[in-house]
């Protein structure tokens, strides 16, 4: 098994205003840079391999936290939210509450217009986990909320039709173990990043 630590990027202006980011390539806000500057990696992960999503907010988080080059891994990119990117969830709910409720009830098969489903995010994450398991050295990956939710689904069987089995604060990381068949195993509790 290969230890894997997933760290969500720091805040952006869209996070702060409640907008769905998806693949929109925003950088960290001033608040996001300040919060990441206060984080510290748990000592057990200091010698890990480093990976990051190709999106700027994850790459900036990785650079601030590690101070070294980090390998870009395309499979860590956020879920594609299609036509919903840039929109606020409260506005989508106000415009078409019944339609949004039907979409949310699909759980892993929810697909925003022109976007991808969480099940597809799970598939690429499962393939990445299988590749990572070929080397037992620990991995720290800088990614997104959608990727972390997919990891929780893979590790716990959560279908995304109910509350998540675990809630992470922005300053907490999710610890997992990767198996050769792509399975992920949860290694609770969440690890605190705040100094």
Residue 183: other Cβ atoms inside 10 A: 16
Domain ranges of the chain: 2-192
Residues belonging to the chain: 195
The structure's pTM equals 0.95
Mean pLDDT (the chain, rounded): 95
> For tokens 């980090």, what's the residue?
70
- Residues in Cβ contact with 52 at an 8 Å cutoff, skipping those fewer than 6 apart: 58, 59, 61, 62, 70, 71, 72, 73, 76, 141, 142, 143
- Whole-number pLDDT of residue 147: 98
pLDDT per residue as tens digits for the range 69-94: 899 999 999 999 999 999 999 999 99
Task: List the CATH code of the domain at 2-192.
Answer: 3.40.50.1240
pLDDT per residue as tens digits for the range 135-175: 999 999 999 999 999 999 999 999 999 999 998 999 999 99
* Cα of 144 vs its chain's centroid, Å: 3
pLDDT per residue as tens digits for the range 34-58: 999 999 998 889 889 999 999 999 9
pLDDT cut 70: percent of the chain above it: 99
């Amino acid at each position: 098994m290969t230890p894997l630590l997933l760290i969500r990027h720091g805040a952006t202006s869209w996070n702060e205003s409640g907008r769905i980011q998806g693949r929109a390539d925003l950088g960290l806000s001033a608040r996001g840079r300040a919060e990441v500057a206060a984080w510290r990696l748990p000592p057990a992960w200091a010698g890990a391999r480093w990976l990051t999503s190709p999106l700027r907010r994850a790459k900036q988080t990785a650079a601030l936290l590690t101070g070294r080059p980090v390998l870009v891994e395309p499979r860590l990119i956020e879920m594609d939210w299609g036509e919903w990117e840039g929109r606020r969830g409260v506005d989508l709910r106000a415009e078409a509450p019944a339609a949004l409720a039907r979409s949310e009830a699909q759980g892993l098969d929810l697909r925003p217009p022109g976007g991808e489903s969480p099940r597809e995010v799970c598939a690429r994450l499962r393939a990445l986990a299988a590749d990572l398991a070929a080397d037992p050295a620990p991995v720290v990956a800088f990614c997104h909320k959608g990727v972390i939710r997919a990891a929780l689904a893979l590790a716990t069987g959560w279908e995304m039709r109910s509350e998540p089995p675990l809630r992470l604060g922005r300053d907490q990381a999710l610890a997992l173990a990767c198996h050769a068949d792509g399975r992920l195993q949860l290694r609770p509790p969440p690890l605190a990043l705040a100094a």
